[in-house]
Amino acid sequence: MKQKIVVVDYGMGNIHSVVTALEYVTDGQAEVLLTSQPELIQKADRIVFPGQGAAKDCMRELQTLGLDQAVLEVAQQKPFLGICMGLQVLMAHSEENDGVDCLGLYPGEVRHFGEVSEKGERLKIPHMGWNNISQTRLHPLWKNIADNSRFYFVHSYYVDPEDAALTVGECEYGLTFTAAIARDNVFALQCHPEKSAAAGLQLLTNFIEWDGTE
């Protein structure tokens, strides 16, 4: 029986590219479903939680659709991949939009890069384009991906988890920031694997094969 992979649809960002990439790497061996129905999310074997846009809008849509609790539940039960905003809203709070309470799965803040780097250099915001991720600890989703591989980013905010042990990948843009986190059955990253060529497709392949343990 084919495993069911659900991509959570809450109307934020172009998530069809995520579906297309998952369909490509599974090559018909799994059912990939884009849905906003909590009951289908809860029945899935694996969850992909993408998103783009402002934190306030993302949280409003999740709550309006009744997806906030569904996402929190499956994030504690099944292999779960957060992408971009799907990483940020796992934190407790975001500085964006004058402050927004997020899902609170992990203690931590989502912070703005600011216009000046730690070295006093002007930064272009958003951080957009290709950048290297340094793998700060081993994880099954890094399998067959070389350390410091390049991934595609588009964001103005970055996560700052209270627990440094959550971080599995870091990136440099004016400062060193957390680019990927992992704990138990959850892996979430700031970049877009569906837009990150071979390294991104390998990460999605690893997620499809992952049993949800580190």
Is 194 tagged catalytic? Answer: yes
> Which two three-digit tokens encode residue 177?
């920031």
Please, are residues 40 and 46 in contact by the beta-carbon 8 Å criterion?
no
Is 192 tagged catalytic? Answer: yes
3-state SS, one letter per residue, for the chain: CCEEEEEECCCCCCCHHHHHHHHHHHCCCEEEEEECCHHHHHHCCEEEECCCCCHHHHHHHHHHCCCHHHHHHHCCCCCEEEECHHHHCCEEEECHHHCEECCCCEEEEEEECCCECCCCCECCCCEEEEEEEEECCCCHHHCCCCCCEEEEEEECEEEEECCHHHEEEEEECCCEEEEEEEECCEEEECCCHHHCHHHHHHHHHHHHHCCCCC
Active-site choice (84, 102, 171, 191): 84
Is 84 tagged catalytic? Answer: yes
Rounded Cα–Cα distance for residues 68 and 89 (Å): 10
Rounded Cα–Cα distance for residues 96 and 171 (Å): 21
User: Which residues are known catalytic residues?
Assistant: 84, 192, 194
